[in-house]
Amino acid sequence: MARKILLLALSLVILAAVYATGLLRDWYGLPRGPGEITGRERAPILVSTREAEQAAIRAGLTQNIDQDKQILFGDLHVHTTNSTDAFLWSMPIFGGEGSHPLADACDYARHCSAIDFWAITDHAEASTPKRWEDTKQSIRACNALSSSSESPDLVSFIGFEWTQVGARPEEHYGHKNVIFKDLEDSKVAARPIASGGVTVNALRTNGKGLVPLALPLLDFSNRQNYFDMRRFLDEASNVPLCPSDVPANELSDSCFEIADNPGALVASFEQQGLDPLIIPHGTSWGFYTPTAVTFDKHLKANNRPEKFPLIEVMSGHGNSEEYRDWRSVIWDEDKQIGLCPAPQANYLPMCWQAGEIIRKRCLADGESTQECDSRAILARHHAANGSVAAHLSLSGVDIEEWLDAGQCRDCFLPAFGYRPGNSVQYALAIQNFDDPRNPTRLNMGFIASSDNHRARPGTGYKNVKRLINTEEVSLSASWRARLFPKSEASSYSQEIVPEVVQKMGFGATEMERQASFWTTGGLAAVHAAGRSRDEIYDAMQRRETYGTSGARILLWFNTKNGDPMGSTVEAEKSPEFEVKAVGAFKQKDGCPEDAVAALGEQRIQKLCANECFNPSNERLKITRIEIIRIRPQSFEGEDVSKLIEDNWKVHQCKDDGNGCSFSFSDPEFANSQRPATYYARAIQEPTMKINGDNLGCTYDDNGNCIKLNMCYGDDRTSVDDDCNSAIEERAWSSPIYVNYLAK
């Protein structure tokens, strides 16, 4: 008995000691709240000064524009650590700086980036009733800091992201942001609506696998962070699923709602009496998008194409604007398999490079040329059918061996693993002919945004602090070895089973090379009648919007009749179009006094890294304006590569500091007797951009990438290296859609 008492006492002493070290204390984790907004309203003089500067520019325009409309800049794609991936990247193992609550986003938007509007769009797949309530309350608090509802310094919108990923091309619809106009509970969704499938499994159901119990022991001093994230994931997975046979307006606010496709998402809003903006984004980003995906299915009536008035052409995840006629995989509908295409100018298919890697290894092993050719063919097949996990079909590959396989060489800051069949230009060129007498085409305006996962809306104002203002992480050598272990190299490839890929979730995707594609984000711009919530939202609804790659370029695009960008007009001959662009202000170092006074020195350092939007009086020059013409398909199967004319017209500018303008018409429009779409792309003089050179390829005389000089997301690149390269920042106008009107 005495022995048992002694053992019990000893056990209690050990447990007390363990508790004292904190190993068990809060082992379940602590909840992360929305944080505290510390900043105040931006000084009214700053807002009025900006309005006066624009008014002076508008007064000097010869274009037929509405003089009462001002250009406002915002970010409609922002994540906090209420998103699973954002929480994960904030972990110490990724070099994260800790929690990024919603309050940080409010202060950053108001005083660091000094934008005019923004929206919170955390992933619905990780939401809980408590997080949704915190989100609404924090956005209301941010908005309430503005003393004027008619001319607020910052307008904040409630939203969420529907983060859909399909395992196969036919079931992939992609990510969409949902933005609500109003702040009242009755005018926003009762709960964020998740997408189901792969993403729910990755970000909610199987989420705790992202943070194994061993992590707190492997990184003991930071154990609380891992405990907290496990609690975050546990809370999400414990929200009960909503019954699928009950209308959305009759569901409990405390259940987890899923919509498997765009039509179901729209139906839920309609059942709740809501009509929010739904904005597709990252459409060409191959990180999660299956190979062989195209935009065509979005035009099916059951997917409600009329409910997508805007599309995001660019974010910090890359540009999705441009179409190319190559494909990463050629899909055989009859056999339901992917075939590997041969390389083309400016494109090396991932599957093809897989074959070349295997061939090289095979020959090094002393095998015959015939045997190695056979293995290369099989490797191409395995990689072509591995979709987003093609890189896993080979073992022991250093990422440098892939070179620039799968990437668009001649695109502007392309999204990683580019999918041209899901690009914006392709989407505008196709039509759906299910009803031959009334074919369906998309009619979308353009925006850009950041897709920032560190609660920092509008990051593109300065290209500094790569690990703060982009999605970049910095793994240590030891953690890199643990997270990306290198198996022994083999001269044989392996089949990637789709069911296994689906269970792996985002673990099946290619992470390492993608680090070199993160940039500071883009911006959404609106031509609004004023600064109020209603006026900004109304501008978005009527598509009077444009996007920029981050620079605050001023852009006007309209017909001489006064039809603004985003309009649809009918004409028997081409309208006369007018374009005007003015470069962004050059930036001064540091932060304005008002921002420092509002946030304080400690918070301005933490949030803004002591670098804020701080314009000088000098503007950058516009070097040229490009006009893109797209003539939508007139019959099913018409080759879109012949319908997308980029560039159709190029105007070389002589900008003396006051911008660049020109007019044009389309002499071929009347004779073609078919509709046409036109939009303008204003190009600014070169400036530096984080990861502006992406993989940093060295090319041979034939234009083939032979060596990488990439910016690594780990110890191989210094945390102080911003990996800046010169690029031409740009702005994309929303299109003007011209329908042919027969006499």
pLDDT tens-digit readout, 357-373: 999 999 999 999 999 99
**Regarding the domain with residue range 44-326+418-476+516-740, which homologous superfamily does it belong to in the CATH classification?**
Metal-dependent hydrolases (3.20.20.140)
Q: Look at phi and psi of residue 21 and say left if phi exceeds 0, alpha if psi is from -120 to 50, else beta.
A: alpha
Q: List, for residues 377-413, the tens digit of each pLDDT value.
A: 999 999 999 999 999 999 999 999 999 999 999 999 9
- Rounded CA-CA distance 321/280 in Å is 12
Mean pLDDT for the stretch of residues 655-671: 94
Find the range with the poorest average confidence among 150-154, 500-504, 530-534: 500-504
For residue 647, say if its preceding peptide bond is cis, omega within 30 degrees of 0.
yes
Concatenate the DSSP letters of all residues of 429-497 into one string.
H--B-SSTTS-B----EEEE---BSSS-TTGGG----HHHHSS---B-HHHHHHHS--PPP-SS-----
Whole-model pTM: value is 0.94
Q: List, for residues 525-560, the tens digit of each pLDDT value.
A: 999 999 999 999 999 999 999 999 999 999 999 999
Residue 335 banded pLDDT, cuts 50, 70, 90: confident
Q: List, for residues 1-29, the tens digit of each pLDDT value.
A: 555 555 444 544 444 444 444 455 456 78
Structure token digits, residue 268: 């839920």
- Rounded CA-CA distance 714/724 in Å is 17
The mean pLDDT value of the chain amounts to 93
Residue 482 banded pLDDT, cuts 50, 70, 90: confident
- Give φ, ψ of 40 to 5 degrees: -115, -175
Q: List, for residues 264-321, the tens digit of each pLDDT value.
A: 999 999 999 999 999 999 999 999 899 989 999 999 999 999 999 999 999 999 999 9
- Rounded CA-CA distance 161/207 in Å is 17
Concatenate the DSSP letters of all residues of 324-343 into one string.
-S--SSEEETTTTEEEPPPP
Structure token digits, residue 47: 């807002």
What integer pLDDT is reported at residue 18 of this predicted model? 44
Q: List, for residues 693-709, the tens digit of each pLDDT value.
A: 999 999 999 999 999 99
Q: What single letter denotes the amino acid at residue 193?
A: I
What SS3 state is found at 227?
Answer: helix
| pLDDT at residue 208 greater than cutoff 90 | no
- Residue 654 CB neighbours (<10 A): 8
What integer pLDDT is reported at residue 13 of this predicted model? 46
What integer pLDDT is reported at residue 508 of this predicted model? 81
Q: Look at phi and psi of residue 562 and say left if phi exceeds 0, alpha if psi is from -120 to 50, else beta.
A: left
Sign of CA dihedral 448, 454, 460, 463: negative
- Could you give the C-alpha distances from 516 to 83, 451, 727, in angstroms and in order? 22, 16, 15
Helix (H) or strand (E) holding 525: strand 523-528
Q: Look at phi and psi of residue 287 and say left if phi exceeds 0, alpha if psi is from -120 to 50, else beta.
A: alpha
What integer pLDDT is reported at residue 4 of this predicted model? 52
Q: List, for residues 129-138, the tens digit of each pLDDT value.
A: 999 999 999 9
Question: Quick one: DSSP state of residue 610?
Answer: T
What integer pLDDT is reported at residue 30 of this predicted model? 87
What integer pLDDT is reported at residue 139 of this predicted model? 98
What integer pLDDT is reported at residue 294 of this predicted model? 95
Residue with tokens 């006369």, as numbered in its chain: 576
Which residues, in sequence order, are CB contacts of 126 under 8 Å at separation 6+? 82, 83, 84, 87, 203, 204, 207, 232, 233, 236
Residue 31 banded pLDDT, cuts 50, 70, 90: confident
What integer pLDDT is reported at residue 12 of this predicted model? 44
- Residue 341 CB neighbours (<10 A): 17
Q: List, for residues 166-188, the tens digit of each pLDDT value.
A: 888 889 999 999 999 999 999 99
Cβ–Cβ under 8 Å, residues 712 and 674:
no
User: Where in the chain is CATH 3.20.20.140?
Assistant: 44-326+418-476+516-740
Mean pLDDT for the stretch of residues 231-255: 94
Mean pLDDT for the stretch of residues 436-444: 94
Cβ–Cβ under 8 Å, residues 434 and 301:
yes
Helix then strand count (H, E) for the chain reads: 19, 30
Give the angle 650-655-657 at the CA atoms, nearest 5°: 150
- Rounded CA-CA distance 163/444 in Å is 20
- Rounded CA-CA distance 464/613 in Å is 12
Question: Quick one: DSSP state of residue 14?
Answer: H
Q: List, for residues 44-76, the tens digit of each pLDDT value.
A: 988 988 889 998 989 888 788 888 899 999 999
Cβ–Cβ under 8 Å, residues 687 and 697:
no
Q: What is the largest CA-CA distance in the chain?
A: 107
- Rounded CA-CA distance 3/708 in Å is 67
Mean pLDDT for the stretch of residues 618-642: 97
- Residue 218 CB neighbours (<10 A): 14
Distance of CA 717 to the CA centre of its chain: 24
Q: What single letter denotes the amino acid at residue 499?
A: E
What integer pLDDT is reported at residue 498 of this predicted model? 76
